[in-house]
Amino acid sequence: MMPRFYLPCDSLARAVGADEVATALLSQAQERNLPLDLQRTSARGLYWLEPLLEMDSPQGRIGFGPLTAADVPSLLDALQGDPSTHPLALGPVEQLPYLKTQQRLLFARAGITRPLSLEDYRAHGGFDGLTQAIALGGEQTATVVFDSGLRGRGGAAFPAGIKWRTVRGTQASQKYIVCNADEGDSGTFADRMLMEGDPFLLIEGMAIAGLTVGASYGYIYVRSEYPQAVATLREALDIARAAGYLGANVGGSGLAFDMEVRVGAGAYICGEETALLDSLEGKRGIVRAKPPIPALQGLFGLPTLVHNVLTLASVPLILAKGAQFYRDYGMGRSLGTMPFQLAGNVRHGGLVERAFGLTLKELVEDYGGGTASGRPLKAAQVGGPLGAWVPPEQFDTPLDYEAFAAIGAMLGHGGVVVADDSLDMARMARFALQFCAEESCGKCTPCRIGSTRGVEVIDRLLAAPEQRGREAQVIILKDLCDTLQYGSLCALGGMTSYPVASALKYFPADFGLQPSEADQ
Amino acid sequence: MPDEMLHLPMVISLLERHKGSPGALLPILHEIQERIGYIPDAAVPEIAHALNQSQAEVRGVISFYHDFRTAPPARHILRLCRAESCQSRGAEQLAAQLRERLQLDDHGSSADGNISLRPVYCLGACACSPALELDGQVHARLSAERLDALLDACQEDA
């Protein structure tokens, strides 16, 4: 039998050389007269091992990585005898502790299926959720989503079921489903992986949402920095439409739902749901005051269900397996699983899907293997550029929305950026304010002006030669953080204070301060 | 720039195609930029007319979004990621290397029109930081040597 190989077509695998490995493998196998079959699949999310080539074997898929094109000759040699003797052989991939200990619900197909193969998707449970939703009808489907305890995965963690019921309860000539795929937070890549690797899952989730709340049209707003996600989704939409999963009669339900992909244009603020709606309407991405909430007056003033990619993609599984199955994962009010993303200065960067409740320490040390540089760990920024820098003393905090809120931090979209002791936290605090100034939509004063003033205050603080001068600037900086946090319209201004205040609180030395000075 | 007028028939035909779709301005601007490389000034009144908006509204949208250009781009566009994950893996040193070697600031363009630098905040490659995008292609796990090699390749076909 022709040996079958699998190599990801994920954009990050390609950015570290997967295409070169594929080309070398195919051409050299041909030269050697070795017939082989190479499938381009999604990525497992074990990015430090990419390019990760897998091969069918009696023990399941065995892996080799991280490969370069230069490793291909020795790999082909090893295949003639015992492949496990190759220096980059990893053994059965699903037995690797990093993967084996995960609880992959949302990313169950990651690394296994071909992104645009409807056949692969169906063979791995695809469209079971939609079938179940059609059988249950809208009222009961909304109840299942409510009972599952699913909360918005974009960062705000609002209960999804309440939004669904609100939109479902409205009367309007047109309602919309909007998927927020403007994943702009540094350290996050789960949305990208899902859109590039399992696009039908998002389409299925949106179709279920549309049928349930009575919306016949949807938009996926994808950031322009993700061109491969855009292309994959557009192709997947055509395939799904041709197969009857979109259009006038979705999955034989007799109900209509269709959708399109819209591309952002490099504005971070458009990840904020109301700015995103304005952008979809063809305007500048300016934040809207709430109320009215988008569920009542959203896109073009009509009722709109806005969710992050991961929220919508969780729905098919919840429908297929039931609310109780999903609730059995997690802790407290954080139910289900979360795809955490390990990034920055970490040895084993990648995607770790686990039930809420494991600690930050387990994530960074057990999965991440500590810093990539081998230098001492300094802090981790959890939840993107608006998240707090968490010092190692707090690494026993469980990854749970409420537990993180209790330490003045936030879980956000589940991204974790690890930093070693060489990263200067005063510079990172300054960067947070500078980023806010650059990306502010300009609607409210604390964010528009406070961000620029904040950069100046930090510059003065760092330049002040004497303790008294430093103390004065610390007081102003803290006051400014308060103004940003409580006086801004949206999370950009409101949460820029998190990285700034946490850097000041836990790393005063980086600002040239004694611990007592920072406590003013 | 009189030759901008040469683009107008294409602009008008794409406006015809898009103008009925709700919220069409961003898709229109993206398509114009994709085809011409930038958004020519001469296109603005046409867009405004087709969408029944003022020119100020159209210009306001063009200037709001980082992606839209109003002048022809350089032959190569290099976008180095400057967000937190890449900073934690040495992006600032790479930025300094770029400034030094090309004698340009972070938003600079070379006088010969060969290369433009743009900062970008996250390419979704954070598990293999640092990263950059060169002419639409992402390169991750960058090192100083890799960056030099990429720049050599750009300068060879200058």
State the pLDDT at residue A461: 97
> Is residue A502 included in any domain, yes or no?
yes
Query: Which residues of B touch chain A, with CB atoms under 8 Å apart?
Result: 22-27, 29-30, 51, 57, 60-61, 64-68, 83-89, 120-129, 131, 133, 136-141
Same domain, A165 and A253: yes
> Is residue B69 included in any domain, yes or no?
no
A15 lies within 8 A of chain B by CB = yes
B126:A284 CB<8 A: no
B13 HSE (CA, 13 A, CB side): 5
Helix, strand, coil percent content, chain B, rounded in steps of 5: 50, 10, 35
With CA atoms as reference, report the closest residue to A319 among A151, A141, A504, A481.
A141
ipTM of the shown complex:
0.97
> Which tokens sit at B81?
């990621």
Residue A518 pLDDT greater than 70, yes or no: no
Q: What CATH number did the domain enclosing A52 receive?
A: 3.40.30.10
Contacts with A384 (C-beta within 8 Å, 6 or more apart), sequence order: A155, A184, A185, A186, A187, A188, A412, A413, A415
> Is residue A269 included in any domain, yes or no?
yes
Interface test with chain A among B18, B52, B64, by most A beta carbons within 10 Å: B64
| CB A390 within 8 Å of CB A360 | yes
Q: What is the DSSP string of A373-384?
A: S-SPEEEEEESS
Distance of CA A243 to the CA centre of its chain: 28
Read off the pLDDT of residues A341-385 as tens digits, 9 standing for 90 and up.
Answer: 999 999 999 999 999 999 999 999 999 999 999 999 999 999 999
> Which tokens sit at A132?
């179940």
Residue B58 pLDDT greater than 70, yes or no: yes
Same domain, A293 and A235: yes
Q: Looking at beta carbons, which residues of chain A come within 8 Å of B138?
A: 11-12, 14-15
CB pairs under 8 A between A and B: 148
Over residues A180-199, mean pLDDT:
97
Same domain, A312 and A170: yes
What's the number of domains chain B is made of?
A: 2
The DSSP symbol for A339 reads E
**Portion of chain A with pLDDT greater than 70, in percent:** 99
Domain limit, last residue, from B38, B64, B90: B64
> Which tokens sit at A520?
């003013």
Higher pLDDT, A503 or B19: A503
Same domain, A85 and A230: no
Contacts with A137 (C-beta within 8 Å, 6 or more apart), sequence order: none
| CB A109 within 8 Å of CB A42 | yes
With CA atoms as reference, report the closest residue to A510 among A477, A462, A445.
A462
> Is residue B112 included in any domain, yes or no?
yes
Domain limit, last residue, from A377, A393, A420: A420
Q: Determine if the peptide bond prior to A292 is cis (ω within 30°).
A: yes
Please state, rounded to an integer, the average pLDDT across all residues of chain A: 96
> Is residue B143 included in any domain, yes or no?
yes
| CB A368 within 8 Å of CB B127 | no
| CB B39 within 8 Å of CB B69 | yes
Q: What CATH number did the domain enclosing A468 receive?
A: 1.20.1440.230
At A359, is the secondary structure helix, strand, or coil?
A: strand
> Is residue B71 included in any domain, yes or no?
no
Residue B2 pLDDT greater than 70, yes or no: no
Same domain, A410 and A484: no
Same domain, A141 and A60: no
> Is residue A109 included in any domain, yes or no?
no
Touching B: A residues 129-168, CB under 8 Å? none
Contacts with A296 (C-beta within 8 Å, 6 or more apart), sequence order: A166, A170, A303
Q: Is B154 labelled a binding residue?
A: no
Per-residue confidence band for A519, with pLDDT thresholds at 50, 70 and 90: low
Single-letter code of the amino acid located at A380:
A
A221/A231 Cα distance (integer angstroms): 13
The DSSP symbol for B72 reads P
Same domain, A308 and A179: yes
Higher pLDDT, A517 or A197: A197
β-bridge pairing A304-308 and A176-181: parallel
Q: What CATH number did the domain enclosing A396 receive?
A: 3.10.20.600
Contacts with A133 (C-beta within 8 Å, 6 or more apart), sequence order: A141, A208, A211, A212, A319
Same domain, A147 and A247: yes
DSSP bridge partners of A377: A420
B118/B105 Cα distance (integer angstroms): 9
Single-letter code of the amino acid located at A70:
A
Same domain, B89 and B48: no
Burial of residue A15, with CB atoms counted within 10 A of its CB: 0-12 exposed, 13-18 middle, 19 or more buried: buried
Domain limit, last residue, from A66, A100, A134: A100
Same domain, B91 and B45: no
What's the number of domains chain A is made of?
A: 4
State the pLDDT at residue A515: 77
Same domain, A430 and A415: no
Domain limit, last residue, from A100, A128, A159: A100
A362 HSE (CA, 13 A, CB side): 17
| CB A420 within 8 Å of CB A371 | yes
A374/A382 Cα distance (integer angstroms): 20
A54/A89 Cα distance (integer angstroms): 10
A229/A374 Cα distance (integer angstroms): 33
| CB A52 within 8 Å of CB A46 | yes
Same domain, B86 and B147: yes
State the pLDDT at residue A2: 84
Same domain, A33 and A71: yes
A188 lies within 8 A of chain B by CB = yes
> Is residue A110 included in any domain, yes or no?
no
A12 lies within 8 A of chain B by CB = yes
Read off the pLDDT of residues B5-35 as tens digits, 9 standing for 90 and up.
Answer: 889 999 999 999 998 999 999 999 999 999 9
The DSSP symbol for A36 reads -
Same domain, B37 and B94: no
Among partner residues A12, A225, A418, which is closest to B88 by beta-carbon distance? Answer: A418
Same domain, A359 and A408: yes
Among partner residues B29, B128, B136, which is closest to A349 by beta-carbon distance? Answer: B128
Q: Is B128 labelled a binding residue?
A: no
> Is residue B70 included in any domain, yes or no?
no
Q: What CATH number did the domain enclosing B109 receive?
A: 3.40.30.10
Interface test with chain B among A195, A220, A286, A417, by most B beta carbons within 10 Å: A417
Per-residue confidence band for B155, with pLDDT thresholds at 50, 70 and 90: confident
Same domain, B8 and B53: yes
> Is residue A396 included in any domain, yes or no?
yes
DSSP bridge partners of A208: none
Q: What CATH number did the domain enclosing A196 receive?
A: 3.40.50.11540
> Which tokens sit at A397?
């905090």
Domain of A484 in residue numbering reads as: 425-518
Read off the pLDDT of residues A410-428 as tens digits, 9 standing for 90 and up.
Answer: 999 999 999 999 999 999 9
Over residues A156-177, mean pLDDT:
97
Same domain, B60 and B99: no
pTM value > 0.80: yes
State the pLDDT at residue A12: 98
With CA atoms as reference, report the closest residue to A348 among A52, A41, A17.
A52
Same domain, A453 and A398: no
Domain of B40 in residue numbering reads as: 2-64
State the pLDDT at residue A514: 84
| CB A4 within 8 Å of CB A55 | yes
